[in-house]
Structure formats: structure tokens, C-alpha cells
A = this chain, B = another copy of it.
Amino acid sequence: MNKGKIYLIPNMISDSDIDTAIPRDVISVVQGIHHFIVEDVRTARRYLRKIGYLQNFDTEVEFFILNKHTDLMEIIGFLAPALASKDMGLISESGVPCVADPGNLIVELAHQYDIQVVPLVGPSSIILSLMASGFNGQNFAFVGYLPIDDKEKSRKLKDLENKILHEDQTQIFIETPYRNQKLFQFITKVCSEKTMLCVACNINASDEFIKSKSIENWKKSKLDINKKNTIFLLYK
């Protein structure tokens, strides 16, 4: 018996129109899937309806919940439909699955069980911000969240500046939206005046804002990114 495939299904990163971010074939692939691994059932249902999914959620669809509370032992059971030759979908809360979220645990298992994984094209705020930053896209790193403790955060930023200078590598990171403004101020205080900072805010939305300046010039500007989804990029 052939195994089913696991499709990695992109989600939106803004409330703009589907056609700004999701290729049409993603929509048709989704129609054939009845088993989804998701972070949150309610938002997954809403997204599936938004892109035109037609199945009855109560009688025809099974959801498996993968989030930080999920027991690792439980995850193995999630792959049962694929092992029984059914195609499955993995959907993130935002953007493409397995990037800046723990979806890779499912994919890691899928490789062990020799289940084919099919990544579908969609929006990644990391890649979109890198494209629009003007920074080096031939060598870059995404390092997730910086440490919360100020001393450690300061040390980390110095470490990232070091990699920019000595490895010519763009450094990308994120923060919880309500801490964005504080992080921005911290960066301008700790980093060298010559270091370049790109602030990429509400990407793919109507109020998208992406701006690269030296720390020296950011110090002279006003910026309100409080509670807005933001990606930070540093380069020389």
C-alpha cells in the first residue's frame, strides 16, 4: 500500500486578499485533504473556509493539534492517516509551516517513516523582509527570539554584529509584538552607530512598512512599531 503524502500548506501573514500570497494550486491541493495537523482548530477552519475549502468539518475532516502543549509521544499517532495512504496537510498559524514554528517535528518523523513531504509555496515574512532589506541575501541567518535578560540580549547583539562583520552574514530576528518598541530602543542603544538595521512591519498588509537605515540615522527618527508584527534585520 502506498503511503499518503504530507503537504506543507502556507497560511496568510496579513488580512489581505488570498491572491496576494497563496498560489492557486495550493487551494486545489487542499480540497483533496481530509486530515490536517494544525496549531489551533478554530483558526485553521477559518483559513480553510477563506481559501474555499468545501468539506464538512463535522463529518468529513479530522484535525490533529500540534502546539507547545502537545506530548511528543502523541505526535507519532498523527501520522496514522498518512501510513494508511491518506494525504495530510500541515498548516501553521501564520506563513509557511516549519519556519519559525515547531512543525518540523512532524516532518522529522515523516522522514523516519519514509512518508513523502511536499512543501507548497507561500508567504514567509523572514524571506520577504530579507528581499526588501537591501542586505546580503547570499549569506543570512534567522536566529528566532533574542534573550529576554538585558545583559544576555546585549551580549547576543554584540555576537550578531560580530557575525555581520566577520562572516558578512545578515542577521534576522523577531520579538513578541508588545515588546517590539522596547527592543528597537535597546538595539539603537547597544549596537554600533554604523550598523544597518532594517525594520519590516506588517509585511504583505496594506500598511506594510519596510525601512533600512544606520543605527545613527534611526536615532534621529521616530518609529511606532508597538504591537505590530515586525522582523528585525541587522547588517553592516
**Residue in B102, B132, B142 whose CB lies within 8 Å of A140:** B142
Q: How large is the interface on A (under 10, 10 to 19, 20 to 34, 35 or more residues)?
A: 35 or more
A65 to nearest B CB, angstroms?
19
Count identical subunits in the complex. 2
Q: Does A129 contact B (CB under 8 A)?
A: yes
Chain B's nearest CB lies how many Å from the CB of A227? 22
Asked if A89 CB lies within 8 Å of chain B CBs, one says: no
Does B20 contact A98, Cβ atoms closer than 8 Å?
no
Binds B, one of A54-62, A75-83, A181-189, A202-210: A202-210
Whether A20 lies near B20 (C-beta < 8 A) is: no
Q: Is A210 within 8 A of B117, CB to CB? A: yes
> Which residues of chain B are near A164, meaning CB under 8 Å?
none
Mark out the residues of chain A between 4 and 30 whose CB falls within 8 Å of any chain B CB in the assembled complex. Answer: 8, 17, 19-25
